[in-house]
Each structure stands twice: as structure tokens, then as C-alpha cells.
Amino acid sequence: MASKSSAAVFPTSLPIGTIGDLLAGSAAMLESEGVSEPEREAREIVAAVLDVPKFWAAANSIADASPDVARAVIRAAMKRAAGAPLAYAVSRACFRHLTLEVDERVLIPRVETELLVECVLERCDEETRTVADIGTGSGAIALSLAFEREFDLVLATDISLDALAVATANAASLVRVLKAPVEFRHGSLLAPLAGERMDVIVCNPPYISFAEIPDLPPDVRDWEPSLALLCGDDGLAVTRELVGNAAAFLTPGGLLALEVDTRRAGTVAEMIAVDGRYGDIEVQLDLTGRERFVFARCS
């Protein structure tokens, strides 16, 4: 598949009479560039553009495709054929109960992080009133928590102004359905929380080491923001800083919830234990049975 920097030129004049024409033309374009399962991806592109279920396009292939829809589908198919992840090609990603706008300014939300949100919600009780999402990116974690529970406040921080622009736009589109107010703050990790005490601090930090860059899939390595992926100290620098500072921002008994590299979960749990200010340390598996999440309570 072509890389992000590819200068390849793709045809812009696909047949656009019907949805079926769009599916066939898009699938042919994707297949010519080596995209696996091009028919499935063509259906997903059409469904995303029209904001309909994935099966809709195949079931409505004889429906007319408007010029605007055709142009949007063609643009997305061209971007996907050029190597962009599907979420970037269609500019959206599903996360739990939400559909979020995403682009190259933010990490694409993963299903593993959906489980992190579930685990946090399971550990919240009626006394849990304030939550902070550190390194919010697209706002996926913060907005899902605000959508699913009536907190007093959800704070979301990010060092990237570009990421905050995406997250803020997502919040604006969801404001009528959120159960809790969400406030975005710019700055590095916990610095924007100065003066605050939170009942929960949750973070999906960058945890890929620089030495592991060659092992990343091209659609991750060449497209997703390195600031959200890569980290020094063998992928542990950001996590180490969070563990070292979070206790000062947590209420007594407050929850620290981290998504971690599956190869380093034990190291993170040990790091938290050695710190001495946390208890009830848990390592939880993801849906594939790998150690993915670490939870701890502030003493």
C-alpha cells in the first residue's frame, strides 16, 4: 500500500450513478493499491460517509448516489488507497456509544481503550464526582465518561493544541447528550490540574519505545501522531511521571487508571507499589487475555 508521502495519483471519475457503482469503483481502487478486503472497506467507507450501519450500502446498492456523497466517498477511498487508516480516510471513529471526528492530529481510539472506560466506570461509586483524562487526544475517554455517568466535572488535558481542537469540536457536537460538563485544558500531563483534587485520574499514555518504531504497522507509524505514540525510557517515561505526580492530585482513595503496554504491565504495577502512596493495585487483562490495564488507589 502506498505510504503517506506517496505521490501516486488516483482516478477521480468513478461511476457514480448508484450506491452500487460507488461500491464497485471504490473497491476496485482499493484493490489496485493492495488494500486487503477492498469490498468490505468500500462498504465501510460508504456507511461512514452516509452515517448508516455497515450493511446498509450492500442492501441499498440500487439507491441513487448524490454528487456530494459520491465526491466524499471518492475522496475517502483515495485517501485509504494512499495508505491512510480507515478512520482518517472517513474522518470518524466509533468509540463505545459515540461517533467521534478524528484526523491525523489525534490517535485513533482503540477497542482496548473502550474497555479502560468500562473498568473505570465499574470502579466509580456515588462519591465519585470529579474525573480527569490526561492526554485526551480526540476526547474519547473524557466524552464517553461524561456521556455515561453524571459526574460533577470531567477535566481533560493535552499538550497538543491540535488535539484539543479536535476534542473540543467533538464535545460541541455531543453537548446535548452529555450527562456531565467537560472542560479542556492545555498543558503537559497533570500541570493543567494545578490546585485541583480529582476522584479519578485516567490516562492512555504514549508507551511505545523509540526502538520499537520499525515494528509498528505502516498505517500507524506513518500516519498517527508520534507525540501520542512514542515515549522515552523504554516507553515508560510518561507513565513514570504520572505515577510520581498523580497522588498529589487525587483525593484519599482516589483511583489512578492506566492503559499500558502488555509487555510492561508488571513493571508499571511494581513502579506503583514501590512509590508507596498507592494501594489496591490491580492488573487487568484486555479482551485478548493480555495484561493491559493497571489500577491503584491513592492511600
User: What was the pLDDT predicted at 53?
Assistant: 86
Query: Per residue in 244-256, pLDDT tens?
Result: 999 999 999 999 9
Distances (CA, A) of 128 to 62, 144, 179, 201, 254: 51, 16, 14, 11, 8
Residues 47 and 57: their CA atoms lie apart, in Å, by 6
pLDDT (average), residues 98-121:
96
Structure confidence at residue 51 as a pLDDT band (50, 70, 90): confident
Structure confidence at residue 54 as a pLDDT band (50, 70, 90): confident
Among the CATH numbers 3.40.50.150, 1.10.10.10, 3.30.300.90, 3.40.50.300, which is that of 93-298? Answer: 3.40.50.150
Residue 201 has pLDDT above 80, yes or no: yes
Residues 191 and 159: their CA atoms lie apart, in Å, by 10
pLDDT (average), residues 216-245:
95
Residues 90 and 109: their CA atoms lie apart, in Å, by 14
pLDDT (average), residues 5-21:
58
The correct answer on CATH 1.10.150 for the domain covering 19-87 is: no
This prediction has a pTM of 0.89
pLDDT (average), residues 47-58:
87
Structure confidence at residue 16 as a pLDDT band (50, 70, 90): low
Is there a contact between 190 and 239 (Cβ–Cβ < 8 Å)?
A: no
Query: Per residue in 164-186, pLDDT tens?
Result: 999 999 999 999 999 999 999 99
Closest CA to 209 of 181, 234, 189, 240: 234
Phi, psi of 249 (to 5 degrees): -110, -5
Q: Where in the chain is the domain with CATH 1.10.8?
A: 19-87
pLDDT (average), residues 225-238:
95
Is there a contact between 53 and 76 (Cβ–Cβ < 8 Å)?
A: no
Residues 103 and 64: their CA atoms lie apart, in Å, by 28
Torsion sign, CA atoms 187, 191, 197, 201 = positive
Q: Where in the chain is the domain with CATH 3.40.50.150?
A: 93-298
User: What was the pLDDT predicted at 229?
Assistant: 95
Per-residue burial over 190-224, b if 16 or more Cβ lie within 10 Å, else e, is: bebbeeeebbbbbbbbbbbbeebeeeeeebebbbb
Q: pLDDT higher for 154 or 60? A: 154
Closest CA to 298 of 203, 190, 202, 200: 200
Q: Give the lowest-confidence range in 62-76, 103-117, 134-148.
A: 62-76
User: What was the pLDDT predicted at 8?
Assistant: 40
Residue 219 has pLDDT above 80, yes or no: yes
Phi, psi of 250 (to 5 degrees): -95, 145
For residue 51, what are the contacts with CB-CB under 8 A and spacing of at least 6? 99
Distances (CA, A) of 170 to 98, 206, 296: 10, 22, 30
Residues 197 and 282: their CA atoms lie apart, in Å, by 22
User: What was the pLDDT predicted at 1?
Assistant: 53
Residue 61 has pLDDT above 90, yes or no: no
Residue with the three cell numbers 468500562: 118
Residue 88 has pLDDT above 80, yes or no: yes
Length of the chain: 299
Closest CA to 155 of 92, 197, 100: 197
